[in-house]
Copies of this chain bind each other. A is one copy, B any other.
Amino acid sequence: MATAHQAPGETRPGGRTARTRQAVLTAVFAELDDGGFASLTMEKVAQRSGIHVATLYRRWRSVEGLVCELLTDLSGSVPLPDNGNLPDDLRALAHSITAFYGEGRISRLIEAVVSAAARDPQAAAVLRSFFEERLPLAGRMVERAVERGELPPETDPIEVMSALGAPFYYRILIARRPVDAALADSTATAVWAAARAGAYAGTAHGPVDDATGP
């Protein structure tokens, strides 16, 4: 996207730009803790981080831009497993996601990002591009499973990874209860069984459409 947003990776680690970015993201996280997304302002982040508010507007454009970059930054800490078999990889990733969103302030952050996306096309684009970057990386575990013959060859890695993530976002955003280890186990078991049954192997395995709409 050709926008004023600072994409991850555009900063040089250790440089002044990277230090500014880190100070700002730390301040955003602290402000979210204090007052949530509703009361987050560029001015508060400027005050807490010691970075000029003009710099914030120039690089991140809006509070939406700030929370999206914070999510991108934090999610880099979720490891992508490679245990040699897909059931173990799915369970490991599901438990890592649980640990990640098990922190209340991170589940509030995803709420803030989704809210931002609902109101601001720019934030929506950032959210979409975040998952478009992240899912193919995670999907490598599915490609390896297909290579090992564990799954049908036409299995779509993005669909499998979306299915692994979906129950966590449902739990946080819709059911509005904390994620837990039982959800991780249930989700990993479910995705494995579904992938084996060809649910993510596209039209080749899809049942014929019928007229069941309301």
Task: Mark each residue of chain A from 112 to 129: 1 if its CB lies under 8 Å from any CB of chain B, else 0.
Answer: 101101110000100110
The stretch from A54-62, A139-147, A169-177 touching chain B is A169-177
- Band of interface residues on A: 35 or more
Is A38 an interface residue, CB under 8 A from the partner?
Answer: yes
> Smallest distance from the beta carbon of A183 to chain B beta carbons, Å?
9
Chain A 185-214: CB-based contact to B (< 8 A → 1; otherwise 0): 111111111101111101101110110111
Q: Among A3-11, A17-25, A157-165, which stretch is in contact with chain B?
A: A157-165
**Which of B38, B124, B159, B192 interacts with A176 by CB under 8 Å?**
B124
A190 near B186 with CB under 8 A, answer: no
Question: Is A182 at the interface (CB under 8 A from chain B)?
Answer: yes
Query: Quick one: copies of this chain in the complex?
Result: 2
In the bound assembly, the distance between CA atoms of A95 and B181 in angstroms comes to: 30
Q: Are A114 and B115 in contact (CB under 8 A)?
A: yes
List 19 additional A-B contacts (Cβ < 8 Å) besides A114-B115, A114-B173, A162-B171: A36-B119, A37-B119, A38-B118, A92-B212, A95-B210, A99-B214, A111-B114, A127-B174, A127-B176, A128-B175, A131-B174, A159-B186, A165-B170, A189-B194, A190-B197, A191-B194, A192-B197, A193-B194, A193-B197
User: Top 9 closest A-B pairs, CB basis?
Assistant: A190-B194, A193-B197, A99-B213, A166-B170, A190-B199, A95-B212, A115-B115, A189-B199, A166-B166
